[in-house]
Amino acid sequence: MNQPKIAVDLILKKLTESTEQVKTRVQKASEVL
């Protein structure tokens, strides 16, 4: 039962990381434009 929970945690972690990357990209793009 522990394995799937860890996988979900990793997926959520990656999702939040990619969300932060998208935010910074949008900020940089708006600064350039």
Q: Given this model, what pLDDT does residue 2 score?
A: 64
Does 1 have pLDDT greater than 90? no
Domain ranges within the chain, ordered by starting residue: 1-32
Residue 1: DSSP 8-state: -
For 27, the enclosing helix (H) or strand (E) is helix 2-32
Both tokens assigned to 30 = 């708006």
Averaged pLDDT score across all residues of the chain: 88
Residue 33: DSSP 8-state: -
Q: Say how far apart CA 11 and CA 9 lie, in whole Å.
A: 5
Q: Given this model, what pLDDT does residue 7 score?
A: 86
Predicted structure pTM score: 0.59
Q: Say how far apart CA 16 and CA 23 lie, in whole Å.
A: 10
Higher pLDDT among residues 22 and 3, named by residue: 22
